[in-house]
Amino acid sequence: MKIIMLGAPGAGKGTQAKMIADKYGIPHISTGDIFRANIKNGTELGKKAKEYMDQGLLVPDELTCDLVVDRIAQPDAAKGYVLDGFPRTIPQAEALTAALKARGESVDYAIDVDVPDENIVNRMGGRRACLACGATYHVSFNPPKKEGICDVCGKELVLRDDDKPETVQKRLDVYHAQTQPLIDYYTKAGVLRSVDGTQDIDKVFGDITGILG
């Protein structure tokens, strides 16, 4: 079962990807994790990726795809996997399709966790983080016991720059420009399935498992 997770930043696709991986016993593969693992292990691909990252540049599509294909070739991915954060663009999707085709494989499902921009801005704008211990909260969905104070270590909670409405909107604009076309790409491929991401986490997961069977 080869699954790609699609959805805007803050749509909750990472959470769903982890739950899918746990339920079906397949690895949850995020590009960030792959980069970190290859850099830590000093692989050739990792060294190449680090050169770009150290300069603050995006890792080129071809190299990113090579890293992903290398990862899905590992024994633990033999039964399938959930890709989270890749592909992000049409060239990446085309590279992945070609790489899988060379292995006699193809994507089974592209799951789009659909959440309107307005909901995402509100959702992420309500996040609060403790910079001291890393704990995260949400003013509506998961508030701390004492307003503005971390339950774990008692330090002050902050609204991270990443979660400020203007930053979130910019990230959404980039998503719509770059990643939204993937919805059309995987619709044409006949593998796109969309779920309503505004529901609670368990309901979204129920809808996804209803699709996956």
Q: Which residues are catalytic?
A: 13, 88, 127, 160, 171
Task: Supply 148's token pair.
Answer: 């503005």
For helices 165-178 and 180-188, angle between their N-to-C axes, nearest 10 degrees = 30
Rounded CA separation 8/179 (Å): 8
- Which of 6, 163, 12 is closest to 85 using CA atoms? 6
Q: Which residues contact 129 (CB under 8 A, 6 or more apart)?
A: 135, 136, 137, 157, 158, 159, 160, 163
